[in-house]
């Protein structure tokens, strides 16, 4: 019998890529999503890619009764992967209560429903933002966490602390937090990828939208950081590599292979690339020039973030293997395919 996994936020960017990897590894997936920043069409795309349409429940996880009802229906699930969250950093600074309300109330309802139904495994979608401005690099899981500068980031840090407390109060509940560095790229089918609503906050979609003519030019936020070329360094990781790590985390939880009831893993490549490295890679793989301008620093940006990857390698048997050029090309292929599809829809031809 296939093991059932509940995936909250499974229609979103990282969620949908993870659902595909789960289905391809023979899991029975139930997606819970309120479609607040995604579309039900993702289910059709998952069907096209995998031949399986996951079970879907349109539930707002802030609604405690509805959350408990859907969990009761799927109480035979072996684990939950909790992606559902708002994620726009700038919006969270302007409207912190919306972020704390959404990201933390939904987490609390999911954890309560999970415990009520004796589902033992929980995987949390966390972020390297919990490290704040690290004092040592590469960042290991032992680095102290710091208060992130945004309510979004802080909601991830508080969520990890809530999970830790819940684990300590329970005998049979296990959790893994996965701290993502900078996910980019898209599924090789070109059928799913990142679709930021409105103006992108993140570098990669801003680059691809600029090249696609949707944005006029990329603003590079500062070139006076203490790095090799003055622009900040990040650890960009392909979303499919990231998705595969979730499948390994699910296996580790279900097979009770954990060293401790609550484990934390960094998910990055271990390689740091500057903003100019990413631009140069984009210009190389597309053989074109990108319109960009150096402007003021963006408040809250840290100079350098890249992961120590040994723990995930040793314990999950996972490592990311795509190069920067491959990741950048993957993002560009998705942008182009998506735009082409949109324009053929507008001109009336079928997708
Ligand atoms: C951001 C969030 C982080 C979140 C992650 C994934 C902040 C401070 N951090 O990480 O909490 O988990 O996204 O969603 O917002 N850049 C430009 N021009 C742009 C956009 C970005 O120069 O238009 C630069 C940034 O200054 C940064 C790098 O590109 O140096 C990466 O930025 P971004 O993609 O937004 O990711 P992070 O800021 O690392």
Model pTM greater than 0.95?
A: yes
CATH number of the domain bearing residue 229: 3.40.50.720
Instruction: Give the three-class secondary structure for 232.
Output: coil
Counts for the chain of helices (H) and strands (E), in that order: 12, 13
Q: What angle do CA 337, 338, 344 make, to 5 degrees?
A: 90
The residue behind tokens 């059932």 is 4
Task: Output phi, psi for 263, to 5 deg.
Answer: -115, 155
How far apart are the two ends of the chain, measured CA to CA in Å?
Answer: 36
For the chain, the residue count is 351
Q: Is residue 124 domain-resident?
A: yes
What's 139's DSSP letter? B
Alpha-carbon distance of 265 to 62, in angstroms, equals: 27
Q: Is residue 265 domain-resident?
A: yes
Alpha-carbon distance of 346 to 339, in angstroms, equals: 11
Q: Which helix (H) or strand (E) holds 279?
A: helix 275-286
Q: Is residue 243 domain-resident?
A: yes
Alpha-carbon distance of 216 to 211, in angstroms, equals: 9
Distances (CA, A) of 347 to 338, 342, 343: 14, 9, 6
Q: Which helix (H) or strand (E) holds 274?
A: strand 273-274
Query: Mean pLDDT, 10 residues at a time, over the chain (351 residues)?
Result: 95 98 98 95 97 98 98 98 95 96 98 96 98 95 95 97 97 95 97 90 97 97 98 98 98 97 98 98 98 95 96 98 96 94 70 35
Q: Is residue 96 domain-resident?
A: yes
Q: Is residue 350 domain-resident?
A: no
Q: Is residue 98 domain-resident?
A: yes
Cβ(201) to ligand 1 under 6 A?
yes
Distances (CA, A) of 252 to 17, 119, 122, 123: 19, 15, 11, 11
- As a whole number of Å, the CA-based R_g of the chain is 20
Q: Is residue 245 domain-resident?
A: yes
- How many angstroms is it from 89 CA to the middle of ligand 1? 9
The whole-number pLDDT of residue 348 equals: 55
> Catalytic residue numbers?
152
Q: Whose CA is nearest to atom 35 of ligand 1?
A: 202
Cβ(234) to ligand 1 under 6 A?
yes
Alpha-carbon distance of 102 to 95, in angstroms, equals: 11
> Which one of 155, 201, 281 would you pick to mutate in the ligand 1 pocket, going by the greatest count of ligand atoms within 8 A of its CB?
201
The residue behind tokens 């995936």 is 7
Q: Is residue 228 domain-resident?
A: yes
What's 133's DSSP letter? S
Q: How many domains does the chain have?
A: 1
Q: Whose CA is nearest to atom 13 of ligand 1?
A: 202
Q: Among the atoms of ligand 1, which is closest to the Cα of residue 90?
A: 15
Cβ(301) to ligand 1 under 6 A?
yes
Q: Whose CA is nearest to atom 2 of ligand 1?
A: 89
> Which one of 275, 300, 304 would you pick to mutate in the ligand 1 pocket, going by the greatest count of ligand atoms within 8 A of its CB?
275
Q: Among the atoms of ligand 1, which is closest to the Cα of residue 233?
A: 30
Domain that holds residue 127: 4-345
Q: Among the atoms of ligand 1, which is closest to the Cα of residue 87?
A: 14
Alpha-carbon distance of 291 to 279, in angstroms, equals: 10
**Among candidates 160, 141, 134, 310, which has minimal Cα distance to 234?**
134
- How many angstroms is it from 92 CA to the middle of ligand 1? 14
Q: Whose CA is nearest to atom 34 of ligand 1?
A: 202
Cβ(187) to ligand 1 under 6 A?
no
Q: Among the atoms of ligand 1, which is closest to the Cα of residue 300?
A: 8
The whole-number pLDDT of residue 349 equals: 46
């Amino acid at each position: 019998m296939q093991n059932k996994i509940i995936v909250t936020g499974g229609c979103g960017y990282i969620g949908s890529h993870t659902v595909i990897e789960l289905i391809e590894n023979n899991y029975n997936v139930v997606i819970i999503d309120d479609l607040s920043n995604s579309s039900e069409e993702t289910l059709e795309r998952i069907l096209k890619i995998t031949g399986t349409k996951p079970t879907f429940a349109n539930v707002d996880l802030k609604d405690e009764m509805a959350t408990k009802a859907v969990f009761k229906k799927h109480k035979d699930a072996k684990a939950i992967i909790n992606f559902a969250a708002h994620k726009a950093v700038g919006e969270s600074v302007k409207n912190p209560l919306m972020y704390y309300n959404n990201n933390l109330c939904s987490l609390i309802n999911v954890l309560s429903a999970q415990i009520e139904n004796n589902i033992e495994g929980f995987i949390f979608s966390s972020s390297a933002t919990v490290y704040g401005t690290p004092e040592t690099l590469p960042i290991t899981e032992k680095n102290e966490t710091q208060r992130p500068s945004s309510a979004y980031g802080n909601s991830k840090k508080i969520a990890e602390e809530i999970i830790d407390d819940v684990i300590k109060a329970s005998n049979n509940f296990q959790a893994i937090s996965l701290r993502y560095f900078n996910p980019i790229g898209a599924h090789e089918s070109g059928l799913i990828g990142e679709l930021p609503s409105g103006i992108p906050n993140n570098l990669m979609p801003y680059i691809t939208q600029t090249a696609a003519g949707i944005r006029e030019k990329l603003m590079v936020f500062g070139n006076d950081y203490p790095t090799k070329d003055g622009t900040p360094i990040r650890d960009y990781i392909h979303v499919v590599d990231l998705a595969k790590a979730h499948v390994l985390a699910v296996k580790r939880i279900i097979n009770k292979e954990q060293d401790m009831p609550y484990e934390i893993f960094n998910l990055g490549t271990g390689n740091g690339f500057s903003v100019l490295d990413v631009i140069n890679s984009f210009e190389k793989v597309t053989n074109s020039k990108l319109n960009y301008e150096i402007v003021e620093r963006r408040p809250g940006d840290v100079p350098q973030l890249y992961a120590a990857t040994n723990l995930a390698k040793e314990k999950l048997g996972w490592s990311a293997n795509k190069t920067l050029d491959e990741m950048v090309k993957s993002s560009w292929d998705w942008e182009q395919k998506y735009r082409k599809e949109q324009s053929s829809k507008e001109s009336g031809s079928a997708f």
